[in-house]
């Protein structure tokens, strides 16, 4: 649910990075935070455990400039990927405008990817969303690892909706901004339709 | 509601500001802000320049969401008021009309009792404004930025 403030001429949208534990959701946000112009981004907040695993969420606000006289602000969130944090994941999905599903390309993580995207489906439905309509982008992360599955394999397993998909190495930034731009475009196109 | 956008016009925005400014004075607070449940900042009053209001809004919404989750686990609908006591500043967070979050930060010039009392009255006024927001949304059925073109969207990334 986007928030449009006609008084301050602002559009606020919420993007959630979803995916299995250790797939690189937080790393995506950290890279964006590092590379964005400081004037265009706010402070990054990570609610994490002492071992730097996401406990509740990471948050990064971005201001991307103006369209039609409206300032566009995007609030990026990650969910905690570990299976047992499901209650927190559901809360973070509330009011989401677009989702980036970050998959771990390693062959050994295929089950976790499938379990996580299925979990996304269930949680979105529970929040009243139609998972087949919400702006969604897939990111196949960790493409640099030797045990990475092929893109066609990942596509067959995870991309039944045939949404935009990107190969990425979030630690070095490959594919990170491409993914972000893609989801933002989908959100704005949805907003243009009137969010109906 | 899930897909509809929350559209705030000048009038309601200024009405919110008036309520917040009054609350700020009446409660002897340092800063007051209104946030939607998704963490977007709707309006503020007071010493906002001292705070990172965007982060505060997001965390306040997260806080309410988490305690709401706790509430439902014990069979409660919601914990509508949260109070955090600090050494210097305190924070009073309340849910208004099950939709927006009113946050009041105050120091020793005020007290939790006074804040609570003033918040109750302000909440009623905010609820009335929210009804006007809903009525407007129904009447106008507007998409907000329906004139947006593909080129406009592209221009963000140049």
Instruction: Output the pLDDT for position A152.
Output: 97
Q: Does the domain made of A3-192 have the CATH classification 3.40.50.300?
A: yes
DSSP A174: B
A195 touches chain B (CB under 8 A): yes
Q: Measured between CA atoms, how close is A146 to chain B, in angstroms? A: 33
Q: Measured between CA atoms, how close is A184 to chain B, in angstroms? A: 9
- Both structure tokens of A188: 């704005």
Alpha-carbon dihedral sign for residues B71, A85, B93, B137: negative
Please answer whether residues A79 and A17 qualify as being in contact, where contact means their C-beta atoms are separated by less than 8 angstroms.
yes
Architecture of domain B10-137: 2-Layer Sandwich (3.30)
Number of residues assigned to chain A: 196
The answer, yes or no, to whether residue A172 has pLDDT greater than 70, is: yes
Query: Three-state SS for A52?
Result: coil
Segments making up each domain of chain A, as ranges: 3-192
Pairing of strands B6-8, A3-5: parallel
For residue B130, give Cα distances in angstroms to A7, A142, B7, B52, B97: 15, 46, 11, 25, 8
Kindly report the pTM of this predicted structure.
0.92
The answer, yes or no, to whether residue A144 has pLDDT greater than 60, is: yes
Note whether A72 contacts B156, CB cutoff 8 Å.
Answer: yes
Q: Which residue has the tokens 């706010």?
A: A42
Note whether A64 contacts B156, CB cutoff 8 Å.
Answer: yes
Quote the ipTM score: 0.84
Please answer whether residues B83 and B112 qualify as being in contact, where contact means their C-beta atoms are separated by less than 8 angstroms.
yes
Q: Which residues of A touch B6 (CB under 8 A)?
A: 1-4
Pairing of strands A165-167, A70-78: unpaired
Segments making up each domain of chain B, as ranges: 10-137
Note whether A12 contacts B40, CB cutoff 8 Å.
Answer: yes
Note whether B58 contacts A75, CB cutoff 8 Å.
Answer: yes
Note whether B52 contacts A43, CB cutoff 8 Å.
Answer: yes
d(CA B80, CA A4): 26
Q: Which of residues 137-156 of A touch B (CB under 8 A)?
A: none
Q: Which residues of B touch A128 (CB under 8 A)?
A: 1-2
Instruction: Output the pLDDT for position B129.
Output: 96
User: pLDDT tens digits for chain B (158 residues)?
Assistant: 345 688 898 999 999 999 999 999 999 999 999 999 989 999 999 999 999 999 999 999 999 999 999 999 999 988 989 999 999 999 999 999 999 999 999 999 999 999 999 999 999 999 999 999 888 877 655 545 667 777 888 788 77
Q: Which residues of A touch B157 (CB under 8 A)?
A: 181
Size of interface A-B (CB pairs under 8 A): 137
């Amino acid at each position: 649910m986007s928030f449009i403030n006609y008084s301050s001429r602002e559009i606020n949208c919420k993007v959630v990075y979803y995916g299995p534990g250790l797939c690189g959701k937080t790393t995506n946000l950290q890279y964006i935070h590092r590379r964005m112009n400081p004037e265009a981004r706010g402070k990054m907040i990570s609610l994490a455990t002492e071992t730097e695993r996401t406990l509740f969420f990471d948050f990064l606000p971005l201001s991307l400039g103006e369209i039609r006289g409206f300032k566009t602000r995007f609030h990026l969130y990650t969910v905690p990927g570990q299976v047992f944090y499901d209650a927190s994941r559901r809360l973070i999905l509330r009011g989401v405008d677009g989702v980036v599903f970050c998959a771990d390309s390693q062959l050994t993580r295929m089950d976790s990817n499938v379990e996580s995207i299925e979990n996304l489906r269930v949680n979105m439905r529970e929040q009243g969303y139609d998972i087949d309509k919400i702006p969604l982008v897939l990111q196949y992360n960790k493409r640099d690892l030797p045990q990475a599955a092929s893109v066609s394999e990942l596509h067959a397993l995870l991309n039944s909706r045939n949404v935009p998909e990107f190969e990425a190495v979030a630690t070095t930034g490959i594919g990170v901004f491409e993914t972000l731009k893609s989801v933002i475009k989908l959100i704005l196109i949805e907003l243009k339709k009137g969010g109906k | 509601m899930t897909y509809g956008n929350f559209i705030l016009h000048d009038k309601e925005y200024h009405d919110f500001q008036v309520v917040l400014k009054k609350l700020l004075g009446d409660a002897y607070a340092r800063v007051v802000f209104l946030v939607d449940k998704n963490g977007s900042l709707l309006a503020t009053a007071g010493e906002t320049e001292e705070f990172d209001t965007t982060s505060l809004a997001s965390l306040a919404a997260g806080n309410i969401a988490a305690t709401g989750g706790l509430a439902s686990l014990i069979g409660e609908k919601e914990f509508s008021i949260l109070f955090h006591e600090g050494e210097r500043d305190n924070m009073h967070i309340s849910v208004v009309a099950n939709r927006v979050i009113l946050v009041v930060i105050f120091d020793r010039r005020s007290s939790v009792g006074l804040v609570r009392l003033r918040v109750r009255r302000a909440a009623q006024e905010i609820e009335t404004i929210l009804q006007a927001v809903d009525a407007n949304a129904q009447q106008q059925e507007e998409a907000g930025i329906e004139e947006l073109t593909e080129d406009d969207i592209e221009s963000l990334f140049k």
